Amino acid sequence: MKTIEDYLRLNYTMEVIKDPDEGGFVVSFPELPGCLTCGQSLESALANALDAKKSWLEAALEDGLVIQEPKL
């Protein structure tokens, strides 16, 4: 069974979209359903994305969910 560290080392697809209405950026991970975050600057959005991915993976492991691995 993989650990949180194993999953964090994988290269999940990260989509970054500029939010034209609110400003800032929205970041999501398509392989991790519901894992998304935002930030006013690109730097803050990317930092928040790393935290969101870790939290999502920890919750999925705790709940015994199947975690999709990144597409090649």
Other Cβ atoms within 10 Å of 56 Cβ, number: 21
The predicted model scores a pTM of 0.91
Question: Domain with 11 in it: what CATH number?
Answer: 3.30.160.250
> Phi and psi at residue 30, in whole multiples of 5°?
-55, -35
- Asked whether residue 36 is assigned to any structural domain, the reply reads yes
Does residue 71 carry a pLDDT above 90? no
Cβ-Cβ contacts under 8 Å for 46 (sequence gap 6 or more): 16, 27, 39
Instruction: Name the 3-class secondary structure at 51.
Output: helix
Is 9 in contact with 59 (CB distance < 8 Å)? no
- Asked whether residue 70 is assigned to any structural domain, the reply reads no
Amino acid at 47: A
pLDDT tens string 1-56: 899 999 999 999 999 999 998 899 999 999 999 999 999 999 999 999 999 999 99
- Asked whether residue 68 is assigned to any structural domain, the reply reads no
The total number of structural domains in the chain stands at 1
